[in-house]
Amino acid sequence: MTDPARSETHADAPRPGTTPPTSAAEVDTHCPYCALQCGMTLRATPERVEVRPRQFPTNRGGLCQKGWTAAELLDHPDRLTTPLVRDRHTGKLRPASWDEALDRVTDGVTALQAAHGRDSIAVFGGGGLTNEKAYALGKFARVALRTRQIDYNGRFCMSSAAAAGNRAFGVDRGLPFPLADLARADTLLLVGANVAETMPPLVRYLVEQKQRGGTLIVIDPRATATARQATLHLQPMPGTDLAVANALLHIALAEGWADREYVEDRTTGFDAVRRSVAGYWPAQVERLSGVPVADLEAAARALGTAGTAIILTARGAEQHTKGVDTVTAFINLALALGLPGRPGSGYGCLTGQGNGQGGREHGQKADQLPGYRRIDDPAARAHVAGVWGVRPDDLPGPGLSAYELLDSIGSPDGPRALLVFGSNPVVSAPRAGRIQRRLSDLDLLVVADFVLSETAAMADVVLPTAQWAEEDGTMTNLEGRVLRRRALRPPPPGVRTDLAVIAELARRLGVTGPGMADADASGPTFPDDPRLVFDELRRASAGGIADYAGVTWERIDAENGIFWPCPAPFRPDTPRLFTTTFPTVDGRARFVPVEHRPAAEEVCPDYPLYLTTGRVLAQYQSGAQTRRVAPLRTAAPNAFLELHPDLAHRLGVVDGDEVRISSRRGEMRAPARLSDTIRVDTVFAPFHWAGVARANSLTNDALDPTSRMPEFKICAVRVERA
């Protein structure tokens, strides 16, 4: 039977065979940036590559400025088109041949592993890599380098929601329903999500939801562009979202709005949560969070009495030392109201990076193998080892999480070499000054990138790689929908794809053909053809949680993307999860009691203000790409510090003054931007810039105990006129 969600989701999609054929000079693909993965068409003209939005269920013909200008980097003067190596005499990077650069890598790796063991080599990936690259990188680490030390920058973005989702539902798929459901929700609660700046085309769904008479509630310490569109904006003190969630549940239970039948039939653990939220009296939570009781009651009523309701969390709720528990508190609320699995209702996480979802499913995470399998699960190891043509015992065990991995450089057992693909931790890691110093302690730093990012500028070897319009592959968007990325043109001379780099490194390390030990695999172990890699990924993921076995490039084309799990080519995909059961041992979702606790660093007389960090509309992540795009640079030329006019008055600061912001870990400088949209006890800085304007010089490297996600969203700072 056809899943109604499936057909509704695709109502605005072209039917199979009706998509106008694209010429060789024109392809339908997706934006290279965020997880919305807006559909776009690229057309090559003699002068340039043109970008046009196209109809796709996530963007419905819209693009943000980043998408419109994405092609400007293809022929940018900063584009790297030759490998670089650090000259041993001058200490400077100089052009080199691919042979020299790759020899430098493999000679270094071989010597370091001989002297210090396999784990002396570490790999750091990215949430923007295609599924094929993420898969190949994980396999390269475990099979070619045989190191346990691999993790990726997605640990900084989505890991808390992932851990909470796994704990409650037995699965982590950002949105367990199609994005189109947002427009149908009578009440929509966004927690720590500023989609008007991070994913502007998504705002169409919010507008539609409100036009249908829906209620939009936003929880955010700032009155962001998204919060300003809300019916109700709760503006809690940073770090108190968990208490707010527990108070909402407290009110919902007191008012009798829980769905007792759903709780009884589909969940476990409710009584413990009911007892734990009993102490979250609204008046007490008002004192803790600053959110008025009346607003807490209004939000609880809007959720508890709605016919359909959706709760979404994003980085604002997740990037805390209690991020997993904060997300869990909102999941508890959703479960008590009977939302997950009902059309137009549910809980979801708004994934950030372009392939943040797929990037965490296929093996570049320290504790995972492809298909979202656990690397410490013997059955998972046996299955993946069989696909890879190695013995299960040859696969290393779990490694360190991203920040711990970077921070262990220079320690006796820490990495001596680091291979970085698609990441710029010098700007994006918390306590970035410390990480920058750690990187400088390496014997060998290798960075594959297409521009000289701040991390690449520190490298011993820089490998120039292809951009998104120059390669095929697949991405998995925030809905868990697997999409096709299509190449418009080949990479320029001198540039290789990441898959080709990985394949060649594996070959030079002696891992080719039939693999290792007594394995009997045939053919190349590390193909550089993305279609071959994807076919292998399908087999490796088969039977796993994120099962891609039935996803083919042909089906993606014909069905406008495929939602995982999709276990066989003839089986339907899964746009909506949890309709009848949860993928837990007993088929029930789990309530987990969680308690508010302070942030790792609270304000004090020396550092009396809260700093929270985030994004701006015209920049993306570490800014290595978007800071080089002229229209984006014009729109958002530099970092700034947003502060309330009352606070500015107290500090003797006027709009535009250069201010120095200090934390216990470092300082940054930026012009002051006065705004009464922010709490008077809190300042905000975007994290896209480097050097003196690097917000992550300040951020706290304290980690969530479960997800190992750093506490980017709150630390204590002092602000002075510079």
Q: For the CB of residue 619, give the shortest distance to ligand SF4 in the complex, in Å.
A: 10
Q: For the CB of residue 64, give the shortest distance to ligand SF4 in the complex, in Å.
A: 3
User: Which range touches ligand SF4 (CB under 6 A), out of 57-65, 146-154, 313-321, 622-630?
Assistant: 57-65
226 vs 312: CA distance, rounded Å: 13
ω before 565 within 30° of 0 (cis)? Answer: yes
User: Which range touches ligand SF4 (CB under 6 A), out of 181-189, 194-202, 521-529, 714-722?
Assistant: 194-202
Q: For the CB of residue 56, give the shortest distance to ligand SF4 in the complex, in Å.
A: 10
Q: For the CB of residue 192, give the shortest distance to ligand SF4 in the complex, in Å.
A: 18
656 vs 667: CA distance, rounded Å: 18
Task: Specify whether the CB–CB gap between 137 and 164 falls below 8 A.
Answer: no
Nearer Cβ to ligand SF4 (201/214): 201
704 vs 328: CA distance, rounded Å: 13
H/E stretch holding 265: helix 260-266
Cross-strand pairs, 93:
86
Q: For the CB of residue 466, give the shortest distance to ligand SF4 in the complex, in Å.
A: 19
Nearer Cβ to ligand SF4 (73/136): 73
Judged by CB under 6 A, which of 71, 84, 199, 288 binds ligand SF4? Answer: 199
Residue closest to 349 by CA, chosen among 207, 485, 154, 544: 154
Residue at shortest CB range from ligand SF4: 67
Q: Which of residues 63-122 bind ligand SF4 (CB under 6 A)?
A: 63-64, 66-67
Q: For the CB of residue 198, give the shortest distance to ligand SF4 in the complex, in Å.
A: 7
Q: For the CB of residue 51, give the shortest distance to ligand SF4 in the complex, in Å.
A: 9
Nearer Cβ to ligand SF4 (199/273): 199
Nearer Cβ to ligand SF4 (63/459): 63
623 vs 628: CA distance, rounded Å: 8
Nearer Cβ to ligand SF4 (65/308): 65
286 vs 296: CA distance, rounded Å: 8
Nearer Cβ to ligand SF4 (64/511): 64
Task: Specify whether the CB–CB gap between 671 and 638 falls below 8 A.
Answer: yes
User: Which range touches ligand SF4 (CB under 6 A), out of 59-67, 142-150, 338-346, 626-634?
Assistant: 59-67
Q: For the CB of residue 153, give the shortest distance to ligand SF4 in the complex, in Å.
A: 17
User: Which range touches ligand SF4 (CB under 6 A), out of 61-69, 392-400, 513-521, 632-640?
Assistant: 61-69
Q: For the CB of residue 65, give the shortest distance to ligand SF4 in the complex, in Å.
A: 7
H/E stretch holding 217: strand 215-219
Residue closest to 336 by CA, chosen among 397, 253, 251: 253
Nearer Cβ to ligand SF4 (355/436): 355
Q: Where are the beta strands (DSSP E) in 615-696?
A: 641-643, 658-662, 667-674, 682-686
Q: Which of residues 554-583 bind ligand SF4 (CB under 6 A)?
A: none
Q: For the CB of residue 557, give the shortest distance to ligand SF4 in the complex, in Å.
A: 19
Q: For the CB of residue 200, give the shortest distance to ligand SF4 in the complex, in Å.
A: 6
User: Which range touches ligand SF4 (CB under 6 A), out of 4-12, 196-204, 452-460, 500-508?
Assistant: 196-204
Q: Which of residues 1-40 bind ligand SF4 (CB under 6 A)?
A: 31, 33-34, 36-38
Task: Specify whether the CB–CB gap between 691 and 721 falls below 8 A.
Answer: no
Nearer Cβ to ligand SF4 (67/415): 67
Q: For the CB of residue 424, give the shortest distance to ligand SF4 in the complex, in Å.
A: 17
193 is a contact residue toward ligand SF4 (CB under 6 A) = no
Q: For the CB of residue 24, give the shortest distance to ligand SF4 in the complex, in Å.
A: 24
DSSP conformational letter for 48: -
Residue closest to 502 by CA, chosen among 615, 427, 419: 419
Judged by CB under 6 A, which of 127, 178, 201, 358 binds ligand SF4? Answer: 201
Measured CA to CA in angstroms, residue 407 lies from 44, 364, 433, 438, 469 at distances of: 44, 18, 11, 7, 34
User: Which range touches ligand SF4 (CB under 6 A), out of 171-179, 199-207, 241-249, 355-363?
Assistant: 199-207
Q: Is 256 helix (H, G, I), strand (E, B) or coil?
A: coil
Nearer Cβ to ligand SF4 (33/388): 33
User: Which range touches ligand SF4 (CB under 6 A), out of 195-203, 301-309, 630-638, 710-718?
Assistant: 195-203
Dihedral sign (CA 70, 74, 78, 83): positive
Q: For the CB of residue 476, give the shortest distance to ligand SF4 in the complex, in Å.
A: 13
69 vs 31: CA distance, rounded Å: 10
Return left, alpha or beta for 213; rule: phi > 0 is left, psi -120 to 50 is alpha, else beta: left
Rg (CA), the chain: 24
Nearer Cβ to ligand SF4 (38/690): 38
Q: What is the total residue count of the chain?
A: 722
H/E stretch holding 346: strand 346-349
H/E stretch holding 65: helix 65-68
User: Which range touches ligand SF4 (CB under 6 A), out of 56-64, 362-370, 568-576, 625-633?
Assistant: 56-64
Q: Extract the tokens encoding 654.
A: 């006027």
490 vs 383: CA distance, rounded Å: 35
563 vs 144: CA distance, rounded Å: 31
Residue closest to 367 by CA, chosen among 708, 132, 712: 708
Binding string, 151-180, against ligand SF4, x = CB under 6 A?
Answer: ------------------------------
- Cα-based angle 596, 356, 424 (whole degrees, multiple of 5): 95
Helices and strands: H and E segment counts in the chain: 24, 30
346 vs 538: CA distance, rounded Å: 28
59 is a contact residue toward ligand SF4 (CB under 6 A) = yes
Cross-strand pairs, 267:
589
Give the neighbor-by-neighbor strand order of the sheet with 444-449.
93-95, 84-86, 461-464, 444-449, 417-421, 121-125, 150-152
Nearer Cβ to ligand SF4 (195/511): 195
314 is a contact residue toward ligand SF4 (CB under 6 A) = no
Cross-strand pairs, 641:
672
Cross-strand pairs, 152:
125
| Residue 109 Cα to chain centre, angstroms | 29
Q: For the CB of residue 201, give the shortest distance to ligand SF4 in the complex, in Å.
A: 5
Nearer Cβ to ligand SF4 (33/450): 33
Q: Extract the tokens encoding 53.
A: 């939005």
Nearer Cβ to ligand SF4 (63/445): 63
Binding-residue total with ligand SF4 (CB under 6 A) = 14
Nearer Cβ to ligand SF4 (76/664): 76
User: Which range touches ligand SF4 (CB under 6 A), out of 193-201, 387-395, 642-650, 710-718?
Assistant: 193-201
Q: For the CB of residue 648, give the shortest distance to ligand SF4 in the complex, in Å.
A: 32
Binding string, 232-271, against ligand SF4, x = CB under 6 A?
Answer: ----------------------------------------
Nearer Cβ to ligand SF4 (67/344): 67
445 vs 122: CA distance, rounded Å: 10
Q: For the CB of residue 147, give the shortest distance to ligand SF4 in the complex, in Å.
A: 33
Q: For the CB of residue 679, give the shortest distance to ligand SF4 in the complex, in Å.
A: 27
Provide the binding-site residues for ligand SF4, judged by CB under 6 A.
Answer: 31, 33-34, 36-38, 59, 63-64, 66-67, 199-201
